Copies of this chain bind each other. A is one copy, B any other.
């Protein structure tokens, strides 16, 4: 792991002819009233055979003697200029399926290679008012023996990713604590944690059960 605090030195307008990873689109469309309109959108240039840009994994860690936990990752994200708190995630490579990418990203970012994918979401839209990008969310169970340590990460060059194991019951409060330290939480992870907190707080009064 690197030891310096990452820093943004300059932000400049990017000519689209020089953009490798992202592109700008103007969409011409006809609305429900038959009126012709346009819309501005961003997309990724990297979408492969799966038709899906990225996969995230909600890990459920079940270890004897420990509370059921999840694993979140902390990494510096230049677009938001700070450490971001996210689920393990990554782009799906050209020929990969979403599930293959989920397994690969878990191995690289968390070191776990014995994971059991128990659920895969529909293809969902990251920010559909502006972005053509999409993703799937996989839920993966990981069983660990008592006192088994976390495995070694297998990071790619230039990746500085810290792992944090968090008991599921403490996830929401942990995200608030990390945000107070100056980190920024990914919106999707926040919503998942907020959903859990909501269900537990209100299960009786809202007759969720």
Contact = CB atoms under 8 A, between A and B. Distances in A.
Interface stretch (A16-24, A96-104, A106-114): A16-24
A31 B2 contact: yes
A67 interface: yes
- Copies of this protein, total: 2
Contacts of A168: 206, 208
A202 to B, nearest CB: 7
Q: Interface residues of A toward B: which range?
A: 35 or more
B187 A195 contact: no
Interface of A: 1-16, 18-37, 39-44, 54, 58, 60, 62, 67-68, 76-80, 84, 86, 89, 121-135, 137, 139, 158, 160, 168-169, 175-176, 179, 184-200, 202-203, 205-209
Secondary structure at the A interface, as helix, strand, loop or mixed, is: mixed
A30 B129 CA distance: 31
A124 B40 contact: no
Contacts of A131: 42, 79, 126-127, 130-131
